[in-house]
Structure 1
Amino acid sequence: MPVPLLDDEFRLWTEWLREELGHRWGPERREILRTRLEPRRAALGLDSFDALLFHLRFHPEREAERALLVPHLTNNESYFCREQGSLEVIRDEVFPALRQQLGAGGQARLLSAACSTGEEAYTLSILAAEAGVFTAPGALRVTGVDVDPAALGRAEAGVYGEHAFRGTGAAWRARFFEKQGAEQWSVKPAVREPVRFRPANLVQNDWWRGLPPQHLILCRNVMIYFDADAVLRAARGLWEALAPGGYLFLGHAESLRQVPVPFNLERRPGALFYRRPEGDA
């Protein structure tokens, strides 16, 4: 018989998840949450979800447990060249503008926030290659950040199956990836070289510390899972991470219209994006 997620347990878990990850878990998703938590409860031999939360909050090995639990709670669905309209604006407008702004010796710094398993970060590196910009050594730095250590491990490995290429063609894949076995492909060294990954939780304060100001940030299809407070915390962090004049692209279903952070909204055919005003300190 399944172990139930009791009323008080559900309330405590949703409060913890809202604070730690910014996630919304309404009552209609109670059974989904129970099934996501169940593998760790069973693996630890605990008799309740209350005991699992206590373990996660107070056990000496709580950080290791958190790393094991987070992959069960996050959505790591991603693929290459997602939301093509935004990518075309980045390749054809943003990259040339950055190249002119930065000059011959500058470094373009691009961030994939909530990068999941790395497809978006590598897509940015590929877009720069397609645009023929930032080709000098050190002229491009792409950083991917995510809260899920398991997803970051897969991103570092840079090996992908057929499903990750559903938005691309075979010729594109052959240009930027090498065949690995029967059904996998690995990122070619030239694409991998400017890309780095690091852990970060977008709803925590100061997650951007240690990063130089970024010229472009992609943060797509993550804030749809956040409550209003977490959206505000994430938006403030993205503002801090951006250089003045920098570009922020969200997913098609996401908006900062009701968020009191002074981004400027710009529109292009097939794409919306935000900018931190020039000269802003």
Structure 2
Amino acid sequence: MSRLPAASGKASVLTADEIRRLCEFLYRRTGMIFGESKRYYIERRVADRMASSGFRSFPAYFSHVEADEGEVELLINIFTVNETYFYREEHQLRCLGRSLLPDIVRHRQPGDLVRIWSVPCSTGEEPYSIAIWLLENWPMVDAYHIEIVGSDIDTRALMEAEAGDYGERALSRLPPDVIEHYFEPSHDGHRRLIQDLRESVKFTATNLVDAASVAEQGRFDIVFCRNVLIYFDDASRLLAANNLYDAINPGGYLCLGHTESMTRISKRFTLRRFEDAIVYQRPEEGP
């Protein structure tokens, strides 16, 4: 086996067949679409993993990937996209407090559980934004047991989310008083979320195209699944949509990114237009 001391990190040149094999593997495991048009992007990331794990030939490295789930996890981590910041698509947070949660809790008693899921949650900005927004803007936040879960396929991103340490760009949309109230100085201009807020969100690993992985998270009243389906093809989108449907309680809601439309993927959800946002609802009754 061609396993040698770590190489220099210079991108290796993959053949068209090697690109195809790798992209098919990533597709099967994640639903994400890559191809020859992203050759430079792919080769740079593969070269990084080959250098870190001490392989100088792609065939030897790929054999290692196929035999080692730990390496699969690390490979997937470097191909995920973690572009996010606090209060992104703020209109959906307004909709959450003004429309979605009031509709959910009209069937609940004070103290009842309400579950909110952010998937993929990347490095945590979205689920923490939900927590902060509710504390700042929803008067009923203390009347119910609000459980917020953030999930992602990228285990490296989840570790960063649990650390709760953020730079200026991630915080740029937050009002200064919110930053002062919920963050403490960290290092190099970074701020770290206060411990109580870090502990208010649970982080888990999940794969949207794996039904068993999604089912492990239980059911939710509201799901934020934004800006990930654009990386899938039609088959993977439908698979993810069905898994999300099963993860939402009857009558619960799904929030997608502003460029995404569930009506083009699945007819199982009902489109709902609220004052602040368009969202999708799992019908109260249905299969």
**TM-score normalized by structure 2?**
0.90
Q: d(CA) in 2 for partners of 1:244 and 1:24? A: 31
Match of 1:22 in 2: 31
What CA distance in whole angstroms lies between the structure 2 residues aligned with 1:2 and 1:122? 36
Cα deviation digits, residues 127-156 of structure 1 (max 9, x gap) = 2212122315x7110001111111111111
| SS class of match (1:266) | strand
Residue 39 (1) aligns with residue 45 (2): no
> 1:92 & 1:2 partners in 2: Cα distance?
50
Aligned mates of 2:161, 2:253 — CA distance in 1 = 23
Q: Deviations over 1:45-89 (max 9, x none)?
A: 32332322211012xxx1221232222100111111000111111
For structure 1, which segment, 239-248 or 101-110, has the greater mean C-alpha deviation from structure 2 after superposition? 101-110
- How big is the shift at 1:169? 2.3
- Tell me, yes or no, if structure 1 residue 226 matches structure 2 residue 217: no
Identity fraction in percent: 35
- In the alignment, which residue of structure 2 is the partner of 1:254? 260
Gaps of 5+ in 2: 1-9
2:139 — aligned with what? 132
Q: 1:189 Cα deviation (Å)?
A: 3.5
What is the alpha-carbon distance in structure 1 between the residues aligned to residue 218 and residue 11 of structure 2? 48
Q: Within 5 Å, which residues of 2 pair with 1:1-281?
A: 2-58=11-67, 62-130=68-136, 131-136=138-143, 139-280=145-286
Contact 2:221–2:253 (8 Å) recurs in 1: yes
Count matched residues.
277
Retained in 1: the 8 A contact 2:11–2:46? no
Deviation at residue 280 of structure 1 after TM alignment: 3.3
| 1:223-257 residue CA offsets vs partner (Å, 9 max, x unmatched) | 11111111111111110110000010000111122
SS in 2 for 1:101: coil
**Displacement, 1:2?**
4.4
Q: Distance between the aligned counterparts of 2:103 and 2:266, measured in 1?
A: 27
* 1:99–1:15 distance in 2 versus 1, CA, 3 Å: same
Deviation, 1:269, is 4.6
Decide which moves more: 39-48 or 198-207.
Answer: 39-48
Q: Hey, which bits of structure 1, 4+ residues long, moved more than 3 A?
A: none
C-alpha change, 1:144 and 1:259, in structure 2 (3 Å) is same
Q: Which amino acid aligns with 1:208?
A: V
User: Could you tell me how far apart the structure 2 residues matched to 1:4 and 1:212 are?
Assistant: 43
Aligned residue for 2:118, secondary structure, equals: strand
Q: Measure the CA separation in 2 of the matches of 1:229 and 1:69.
A: 23
- Structure 1 residue 267, shift from structure 2 partner: 2.0
Checking the alignment, whether the CA contact within 8 Å between 1:143 and 1:195 is kept in structure 2 is: yes
* Structure 1: distance between partners of 2:58 and 2:140: 52
Give TM-score scaled by structure 1 length: 0.92
Is 120-129 or 47-56 further displaced after alignment? 47-56
C-alpha distance in structure 2 between counterparts of 1:176 and 1:31, whole Å: 40
- Native 8 Å contact 2:26 2:76 kept in 1: no
Deviations 1:163-185 (A, max 9, x none): 11122221221122222244122
2:237 and 2:271 map into 1 onto residues whose CA distance is 17
What's the offset of the Cα at 1:261?
A: 4.5
